[in-house]
Structure formats: structure tokens, C-alpha cells
Amino acid sequence: MRTFLIADLRGYTRYSDEHGDKAASVLAGRFAVIANGAARAQGGEVVELRGDEALCVFTSARSAVRGAVELQKRVRERVDGEPALPLGVGIGLDAGEAVPTAGGYRGRALNVAARLCSLAKGGEILASETVAHLAGRDDEARYAPRRPTAVKGIADPVRYVEVIPTVDLSPSPPAPSSSKPWRARRRSVLLMGVGVLLAAGVAVASVEFIRARGPSLPSFRALGSNRCGPVHYEGAGSPQLLIATDLPLQPGALETSTPMIDAMTLALERHGYEAGRYRIGLQVCDDAAPGSVGFDEGTCSANADDYVKDPSVIAIAGPFSSGCAVVGIPILNGAPGGPLAIVSPSSTYVGLTRRTLVADSDEPDAYYPTGRRNFARVVPADDVQAAADAIVAQTLGVKRVYVVDQGDAPSELFVAYFIRSARRLGIEVAGSSSWDAAASNDDILAAAILRTGADGVFLGVSSESRSVQLLTDLRAHLAPTVQFMAPDVFDPQAGVLAGTAADGMTFSQPGPANNDLGSAGRQFVASFSKKFGEAPTRFALDAGQVIDLLLDAIARSDGTRASVTTNLFKTSISNGILGSFLITPTGDTTLNVVAIYRITGGKATTFETVAVPDALLAPD
């Protein structure tokens, strides 16, 4: 396994035309020396040079990433006030097996690296997700997702990221000016890290945009953390206020977060980056632990502190996980200028907004030290989803249900909500068990279920290879008429992996199914598909709705945090992306609908969208 780095001087042909062959030859020689030195400094070597292009090979993906950063550093170093090279360098990286040839290598990884190099602008480093996974994250670089790209000879689009140096770099030389008419470019890269801004000579902590006349607002300031990308703004003039978003951006989480970010930018674009009289920018921040797909409590806390301290931050879109919300809400609640509004597309833990089934809990009051609410969500909470699962069980004729949790608090609480709703619907709970992926015996569990005579099984367990095996084992022991049901922590696509054992199984996901969306939702799906080449995920739709909701609250405000938060709880959405709904005083949506999918013939398809009545959710 080798990692290949291909670097190319941007604008070399024009430079040659304007300065002559001799000057171009000197430039190519300087580039070769710099590329060789940068590669060797990180344990690599240059194996092929073609004038304005260098092919380097490394035995370590991390060394290759560091070599790319080192190369960008060296080409930008100042000599008598001028960069070492007058042109920017674009770099592409991929890792894989390759066949050695005379003076070089050949193989898929070379093709991918060359394609990514062709996409990279001067000063950019693009790497396949394979490289990002192998290299991990260290002190010199972080990663930001890009849309997958087609590579000739490779069937599936290649997923890749931008490598963002986190060390100080001098500015990259500007791209050569063109005599051709200017044409609109593809949307800006919004997940570029702050290292790129530093590379452009900007002190990020004090980035300011000149503000046009308008309401009396503080001078605009971007978030300065290296966990956050630059401000994304494509409206008129410059932004005045900032929406920050918290999402996991580590390799492994990008498949979920990238479509969400795309949906947010599309929603902003559809509004012209305006909320009433205010111009709004978006800044995306990583809340994941390095090398992990999950949130990190320390990072969530640090992000919230940064949002509170930046007067330009007017609202938060996120976070993705309820655990991060638990950490961030109290900090944002005490923000200067009034509680800072936070709207999540996916945090469904009941305790964020209402009392749970846990006795003597101080939730949700503990999250709101000022006594004012500032958190809302656009999808129904766990108790609504669990009730929908119970309604589906009733629809499918289940009379006696056996419930399985995985022994942790979130799973146990979700299953408890299912039990409450099932009993209210007249379904008998035949038995229950906690299942441990590492220690439990599936045969023993199957025998326990069989003894109860249950005709339905509710699996409150998360997706992993063992849970797929659990489903397979239970189906092998139980009657074919036994109905299996699960919430979306057991992903439908994981269920498909169980083959015929999953046939007929249902899965719930909060919010409406795509084919049950209203006209505005269908229009958003069409716009997203046209712009990004694929249909939006369910989380992407939720993220787009979050931006619409926040823009509505900001538009009706006086531009202060307190006013935005007040107006958030007065929001009434009519024919929105997800439908028509209100935000309740607790911060919940009134759109208590849940999508149900069912596996049939090896595919997960929409079964129905369930509307959950309030009576089924009332406290005991």
C-alpha cells in the first residue's frame, strides 16, 4: 500500500506564453527542487517530473499528507518579499496498490490522485477519503468534505476531502488573470478550514467584513476556531450576521454531514442569503472527536463558548446529536444579549424539551439556567417516534410484543416509551430483555421470546454486524409470522444485510417520508437533486428546514439574540420543506409525523407516514 501525491503548477502554460520558454524552464527547475525537498522531508520521494507536474510516493498516508502541507509551505515561502514560486500549486492524493514501472507507477490510485489534482485550485490539497482514514487527524491538518467526483475507468464516484493545513502558511500566489470574460463559478467551498484563511494572510480571530448601511449591528466577525471553516456567503455586499452549525466532520461521518451542509447552503441560496433586512452568512464547525464519528463533549463545550463570545453569531443550526446539545444548550442559554437560539435537525432526546420517564430528573430545567427556552427541533422527539412504532405494531396485527433494548440509558428509555404507547393501544408486552452485543447468546434470547408466544419483536438496538446477526438468529428460531420492528438506530440498510431474515421488518424515522412531502418539500428535493446530482437524505431535508426556520425568526427580529430567540417560539411554518407546523413553548415541533419503512424483497421502501395523536403522548 502506497500513497501517491501529484502536484501541479497552476497557470504554467500562461506563464510560459507571457514570460518565454527560458523563464518557464527556470520555474520548472525551481518547482522540481522544492517538490523533491518537501517529499524527502516527510520520508517520500519524487519518482516522476513532467515540467509543471511532480509525482511523489510515500509509504505512509500521514507522511503524504504532511508532505503535501510541507510542499504548500515551501512554495509560499518569501524570498525578498516574493513567494518562492509565482504560481500556486494544486495537489491530489490517493492511496492503494500500484504496479511499479520504469521510472514510476501505474494503477487506480494514480488515476484518482491525478483527478483530484486536476480539481485542486492553486494552494489546495485534495485527498481521497481512503487517505483521510489512513492518515487520521494530527496537529498539521484537518479534513473538510467535498462532493464525490467521477473518475474515468472507475464505476462509482470517488469520495474525497480537502486537506486543511492547521499550521501558518504564507499566502498562495494569486491565480493568473484571464483575458476571457468572467463566468460564474461553482459554489464556494464552505468547509475549508481556518488554516486556509491563515494561509491567505488573514488573522482569523479578527476577520471583519465591511458592513453596508443597515441596522446598528456590531462589525461582522468570523469564528476564529480551527474547528470551523470560513464564512460561506454568496449574497449582495457582505454578511452582517452569522449562523453557525455544529456537525461531525471527521472521516466516517461525512456521508451524513455533507448532504446536510449542502441543504443548508441551498436553503440560504434560495433566500438570497437574506433574512428580512439582514444579510446572513454560514460557518460550519466540527463537533467530533479527532478520528471519531461521534461528538466530543469538550469540543461541543468549546464550540458553544466560541459562539457565545462572537457577537456576530445570531443563531446555531445543530447540533447533530442530543449528547452535544446537552452540553451546549446551557452555555448558549447564558449568552450575552439574550439566550442564543439553537435549532437542531436531529437531536431527539425528550429531556431536552420535556420531562422524561426518569423519576426525580431535573431535565429539562437544568439546561435553561436563565429560565428562558432557546432550543427547538424540527423533527419529533423519541417518545413520538416510539409511539409511531407502537401504532405500526397495531396496524400489523401484533397482539403480544417482546421488547429488546441494548442495556444503555438511551435505548432503555426509548423502549420504555414504546411500551407505554403499546399498552395504551391494547398491545400486551409479553416480555423484555437487555441484549449485549459482546456477551449475549442469541439462541437463549430466541428461546425466551418463543416461550412468551409473542407475535411481534421490537428491537431497540443499534446497527452493527452483531445486530444483523441477532436478527438473523431470531428469525431462524421464531415463526415466520412474527413481526420485527425497530427505530432508526437500527438502520434499514443494515437490516437489508440480514437478507430474507429482514423481510417484512419495519423501521421508523422521525419526520415525513420523502414521497409524503408537500409541494414545498418536493420542490426542495428537486432543487437539491439538480444542484448536487442526488436526492437529499432525510437529515438533509431536516437541515434545510432548520435554516428556513432560523431565517424566518431572524427576519422578524430586531437583529439581537434575545429578539431572534423570542421570535423562534412564535414561528408558524406554512407549507415548509417538512410541512406545516408550529414551534411549541417547549421547543418541540407540532408536526408529530414519523416515516415508516419496510423491507420487501431485499429493499427498504416507504410503508407509510404515521401521524401520532397527542393522547398517546400524554404523561401518565
Per-residue pLDDT, averaged over 363-370, amounts to: 97
Looking at residue 503, what is its pLDDT? 96
Q: In angstroms, rounded to a whole number, what is the distance separating the alpha carbons of residues 368 and 360?
A: 17
Cα distance from N-terminal residue to C-terminal residue, the chain: 60
- pLDDT at position 178: 41
- What are the tens digits of pLDDT across the range 128-154? 999 998 988 777 888 888 878 777 777
Residue 200 confidence (pLDDT) above 70: no
Amino acid in position 208: E
Percentage of the chain exceeding pLDDT 70: 92
DSSP secondary structure code for residue 339 in this structure:
P
Please check the confidence at residue 183 and state whether its pLDDT lies above 70: no
CA distance 418 to 390: 6
Cell 434560495 belongs to which residue?
270
Q: How would you class 310 by CB atoms within 10 Å of its CB: exposed for 0-12, middle for 13-18, buried for 19 or more?
A: buried
Q: State the average pLDDT over residues 28-52.
A: 89
**Mean pLDDT score, 274-302:** 92
pLDDT at 286 over 60: yes
Contact status, residue 610 vs residue 385, Cβ threshold 8 Å: no
Question: Bridge-partner residues for 608, per DSSP?
Answer: 596
For strand 45-49 and strand 341-344, is the pairing parallel, antiparallel, or unpaired?
Answer: unpaired
pLDDT band at 605 (very low <50, low <70, confident <90, very high): very high
The residues, any chain, with a CB within 8 Å of residue 175's CB and separated by 6 or more, are 10, 11, 88, 121, 122
Q: How much is the pLDDT for 168? A: 80
pLDDT in tens, 292-305: 778 999 999 999 99
Strands 208-209, 220-221: parallel, antiparallel or unpaired by DSSP? antiparallel
Tell me the C-alpha distance between 195 and 202, whole Å: 10
pLDDT, average across residues 242-259: 91
**pLDDT, tens digit, for every residue of 435-474?**
999 999 999 999 999 999 999 999 999 988 899 999 999 9
Pick the range with the lowest mean pLDDT from 181-190, 381-390, 532-541.
181-190
**Residue 303, SS3?**
helix
User: What is the percentage of the chain residues whose pLDDT exceeds 90?
Assistant: 69
Residue 105: what pLDDT?
A: 79
Of the listed ranges 84-93, 186-195, 362-371, 476-485, the least confidently predicted one is 186-195
Mean residue pLDDT across the chain: 89
Peptide bond into 364 cis (omega under 30): yes
Domains with residue ranges and CATH for the chain:
2-165 (3.30.70.1230), 194-378+540-557 (3.40.50.2300), 382-510+595-616 (3.40.50.2300)
